Structure 1
Amino acid sequence: MRIGIPRALLYYQYYPMWKTFFEELGASVQVSSPTTRTTLAMGSERLVAETCLPVKVFCGHVLQLAGQVDRVFVPAVRSLEPKVLSCSKFLGLPDLVRAVLPEAPSLLDPEIDLDRRSSEDKDWLPPTSSEISLRVRWTFYQTIYRVGSHFTRDPRRVKEAAGRAWQAHQDYLFLMQTGLTPPEAIAWWEGDGDSPREEDEHVLALIGHPYNLYDAYITHNLVTKLRELGVSIVTSEMISPEELRQGILDLTGQPYWTYEDEVVGAAGHYLRDERVDGLIAVGSFGCGPDSTLLDVVRRAAREARRPFMNLVIDEHTGEAGLITRLEAFVDMITLRKRRQRR
């Protein structure tokens, strides 16, 4: 069986794990090509204008895979921890793809909901931490075996594949914590990567979701342009889960959305990091959670008297304007550091 993985949304978080799992079960994996103008146009023309940019990009990548694979992997991620829900685009992604892309390949669309309660939980009381742990693990195992059943009826094969996939994910996380961005870590994991860069004159924290930060087309090669300006970047992937969790506690007190640590957690951490000269946040136009969370980050940066710039991207974002803003921000950082040295 040929499984297609769109190079969008959760690809940047989980690709090595997904690829390993499917290949261990005997499937071949094909990833869509990097985003181009055509990719974005194909997705945009199928959706209403108010749809957020990452979903338009995702639909374009699904269409790229049409005719090349047997099934496309499109999970519905409801929750990855108790009492914390995902954005609506993740909740309904398989249904959206079916509705607007009738010619898309058949979907492999497991629901991932680690906050699921049974039908007997009508008078549900807050469980103990051990009960939460058991429930989460049981739900997780059910999801794994449900996906694996499309390839084999042998639960031992599924368990072994899941173990190797989890190890691939841990290796991937380790690579990013050495200072590699997700695309660089994927290249390294596949045996074609470069060593982490040495630190440049300025260090800026790049805040945002990976599907916004690392899609070179929609951000006009943001990471590369910052490095050309003599900037080292640090991101949420380069710090530990414990540090991200503490960052959330510092800014909002508790998590409200799945993947909030990529924005609020990273910002909370890097606002306390003295080696970081400033923060650049990247959000997509039309994203409800981002509009709220990035405002929290903006106010926290102002209170901490730390340089902060918010970039909002959509399909109409121009490269020239982006470069101008980046150059101005880096110049401001340079002048600020010179004054502090006097």
Structure 2
Amino acid sequence: MPVRVGIPRALLYYYYFPLWKSFLEGLGAEVVVSDRTTKDILTRGVQHCVDEACLPVKLAFGHVQNLLHKGVDYIFLPRMVSVARREYICPKFLGFPDMVKQNISGLPPVIDNVINQHRKPGDIHKFIRQVGELLGKGPLQSWLAYQRAKPVHQKYCRLLEQGLLPEEAMSVMAGKKPQPHQANGDLTVAVIGHPYNIYDAFISMNLINRLRKSGARVLTADNLTEHTVNQGVARLPKKLFWTLSRRMTGGAMAYHDQGTVDGIIHVAAFACGPDSMTGELIERFIRREGKMPFMNINLDEHTGEAGIITRLEAFLDMVRRRRTAL
């Protein structure tokens, strides 16, 4: 029987799952994904995580717990330090494997090898070799598995740039037809936030689908090319060294400059330092450059659905009134 490797449906799942899945399957593993987020998964995560952690980390704890009931032989939690030259991923990703091993009992072995491209972009040979060794494969077979996985990731990125959201793009790649969405609404709204905040329907209170049902077409920073994002963020006097914050800020600035959206919503996790900085940068830029409607939403485990719905309705009413007045 193939080795079963579990991947939590949290954190960078929405960026790298197709790549990871193809790579691990190329090494002969069976990939098992945790269930979609539920109240029980979040509650379990909150119970096992430290109080000071942000909502996405607490949720990721819950997804790791969910995998324990699926009979996996390994849990895949790469220690993400950097995925681009002279940039960093949030320190929580660096420490997450250790937090999990210290706070959750009964864990199978954790694949927590380091990915650090701060000095050499694209240099992940060591990571590939180490993961292959854990799964009983040699360096050549590991390298070939990764080379076959790269086009899968590139196709996934192209689908996102065509306007699909991660789950829709994954459905297309699996040979399924994505559910039709509101592509021709009377408004276009950019939702800017970390992928694990905006694409998880439970913790985001189904934000994107609510906007679509209200007649808005939704775009995110992931629907932009890397070149467009870099053009947007180039307006800042200093380079952002947080990779995800750079994408979010550049995406918001690019949508504003293009004039392709009627409003921008920034979704942040309470207790996230980079998020608070990113939201402030985006809001100051929009207030200084024009009059585009902007709203900031903060999420934590206590966020109420009714409050989110009320704020969304008020925001869309404001955007529509502004369009009518112009």
TM-score normalised by the chain length of structure 2: 0.95
Aligned residue for 2:188, secondary structure, equals strand
Deviation at 1:255, TM superposition (A): 2.1
Match of 1:42? 44
Match of 2:101? 98
- Cα distance in 2 for residues equivalent to 1:160 and 1:196: 37
Match of 1:190? 174
Match of 2:231? 246
Match of 2:247? 262
Aligned residue for 1:282, secondary structure, equals strand
- Cα distance in 2 for residues equivalent to 1:102 and 1:113: 28
Match of 1:320? 306
Match of 1:53? 55
Match of 1:27? 29
Match of 2:143? 159
Deviation at 1:146, TM superposition (A): 1.6
Is 1:85 aligned to 2:65, yes or no?
no
Query: Are residues 188 and 197 of structure 1, via their aligned partners in 2, closer, same or farther at CA, if it must alter by over 3 Å?
Result: farther
Match of 1:76? 79
1:289-310 deviations in Å (ceiling 9; x for gaps): 1011111111111112211000
1:170-203 deviations in Å (ceiling 9; x for gaps): 1111111111111111122112232675331100
Aligned residue for 2:176, secondary structure, equals coil
1:113-154 deviations in Å (ceiling 9; x for gaps): 1125xxxxxxxxxxxxxxxxxx434x3122212212222443
TM-score normalised by the chain length of structure 1: 0.90
- Cα distance in 2 for residues equivalent to 1:53 and 1:291: 14
Q: How many residues align?
A: 321
Match of 2:20? 18
Q: Which amino acid aligns with 2:87?
A: V
Q: Which amino acid aligns with 1:141?
A: H
- Cα distance in 2 for residues equivalent to 1:78 and 1:154: 25
Structure 2 contact 182–213 (Cα < 8 Å) conserved: no
5+ residue gaps, structure 2: none
Aligned residue for 2:57, secondary structure, equals helix
Q: Which amino acid aligns with 2:308?
A: L
Q: 2:152 aligns with which of 154, 168, 174?
A: 168
Structure 1 contact 78–91 (Cα < 8 Å) conserved: yes
Structure 2 contact 182–216 (Cα < 8 Å) conserved: no
Aligned residue for 1:136, secondary structure, equals coil
Structure 2 contact 10–63 (Cα < 8 Å) conserved: yes
CA RMSD between the two structures: 1.4
Deviation at 1:319, TM superposition (A): 0.9
- Cα distance in 1 for residues equivalent to 2:254 and 2:85: 23
Match of 2:296? 310
**1:108-119 matched pairs, under 5 angstroms:** 108-115=111-118
Deviation at 1:32, TM superposition (A): 0.2
- Cα distance in 2 for residues equivalent to 1:218 and 1:328: 20
Query: Are residues 280 and 40 of structure 1, via their aligned partners in 2, closer, same or farther at CA, if it must alter by over 3 Å?
Result: same
Deviation at 1:331, TM superposition (A): 0.4
> Which aligned runs of 4 or more in structure 1 are off by greater than 4 angstroms?
none
Q: Which amino acid aligns with 2:311?
A: R
Deviation at 1:164, TM superposition (A): 1.4
Aligned residue for 1:286, secondary structure, equals coil
Deviation at 1:337, TM superposition (A): 0.4
Structure 2 contact 182–212 (Cα < 8 Å) conserved: no
Match of 2:130? 146
Match of 1:296? 281
Structure 2 contact 181–212 (Cα < 8 Å) conserved: no
Aligned residue for 2:130, secondary structure, equals helix
Match of 1:6? 8
Structure 1 contact 208–262 (Cα < 8 Å) conserved: no
Match of 1:275? 260
- Cα distance in 2 for residues equivalent to 1:253 and 1:24: 41
Percent identity over paired residues: 41
Deviation at 1:206, TM superposition (A): 0.6
Q: Which amino acid aligns with 2:166?
A: P
Structure 2 contact 182–215 (Cα < 8 Å) conserved: no
Match of 1:181? 165
Aligned residue for 1:92, secondary structure, equals helix
Query: Are residues 164 and 113 of structure 1, via their aligned partners in 2, closer, same or farther at CA, if it must alter by over 3 Å?
Result: same
Match of 1:123? none
Structure 1 contact 185–193 (Cα < 8 Å) conserved: no
- Cα distance in 1 for residues equivalent to 2:47 and 2:165: 31
Match of 1:128? none
Q: Which amino acid aligns with 2:110?
A: L
More divergent stretch after superposition (220-229 vs 182-191): 182-191
